[in-house]
């Protein structure tokens, strides 16, 4: 029912998602809803980056619940959609935080049990688009965008751990066809945006796996 775009923070998922949404004529469901800097998600992210151990479990459950609600809505309405992070990739964040000692073993067990219960009630995506960037590239992009929850608040070593776990996850993922795109500097134009030619390459790569509605 859905095309999912995944990758570390700052990879460029929203840019790719907006392009594919326009090309396919289907809605984009973003991880951070456009409801202002004072939204619950933004406030929770501020708290999380200030004290990851205190807020890690609750913020993971919050994002997981939001993603599950989006997927239920998509399936209930019989529509197709694009999601800028997958419910499957959500576990990467919990795993990384747990490995860093910022989520207890019991909290991680509860989170994984909830996730795997949810996965029994959703269909696999049509295709996974994985956006591959280096940690350096991701950190530069995070610094350029104006989210109050990011910038200097995100530790580099956290991003390195996240990137390592994302690579392991992508190699093992086998629930649907998957395509991988390098969106480092060579994929960007002089304004720092993904080149139109690269967007077209992504669109053409997923075409064999989807039926367009436009």
Residue numbers annotated as active site: 84
- Rounded to whole angstroms, the Cα distance separating 14 from 214 reads 21
In the block, tokens 């951070």 appear at 32
SS3 29: strand
In the block, tokens 């990879």 appear at 11
- Rounded to whole angstroms, the Cα distance separating 99 from 150 reads 21
Contact 83, 67 (CB under 8 A): yes
CA distances from 20 to 56, 129, 131 (A): 31, 11, 14
CA distances from 53 to 2, 41, 59, 66 (A): 33, 17, 11, 21
Q: Let me know the angle formed at the C-alpha of 89 by 83 and 90, rounded to the nearest 5 degrees.
A: 90
- Rounded to whole angstroms, the Cα distance separating 34 from 46 reads 16
């Amino acid at each position: 029912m859905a095309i999912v775009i995944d990758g570390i923070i700052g990879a460029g998922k929203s840019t790719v998602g907006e392009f594919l949404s326009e090309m396919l004529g289907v809605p984009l469901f973003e991880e951070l809803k456009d409801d202002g800097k004072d939204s619950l998600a933004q406030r929770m992210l501020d708290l999380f980056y200030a004290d990851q151990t205190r807020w890690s479990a609750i913020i993971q459950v919050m994002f997981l619940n939001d993603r599950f609600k989006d997927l239920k809505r998509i399936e209930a309405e019989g529509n197709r959609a694009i999601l800028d992070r997958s419910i499957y990739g959500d576990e990467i964040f919990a795993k990384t935080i747990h490995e860093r000692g910022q989520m207890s073993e019991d909290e991680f067990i509860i989170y994984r049990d909830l996730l795997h219960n949810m996965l029994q009630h959703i269909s696999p995506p049509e295709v996974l688009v994985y956006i591959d960037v280096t940690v350096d590239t991701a950190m530069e992009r995070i610094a350029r965008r104006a989210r109050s929850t990011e910038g200097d608040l995100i530790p580099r070593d956290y991003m390195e751990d996240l990137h390592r776990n994302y690579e392991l996850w992508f190699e093992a993922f086998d629930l649907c066809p998957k395509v991988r795109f390098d969106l480092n500097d060579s994929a960007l134009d002089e304004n720092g945006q993904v080149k139109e030619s690269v967007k077209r390459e992504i669109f053409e790569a997923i075409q064999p796996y989807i039926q367009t509605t436009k």
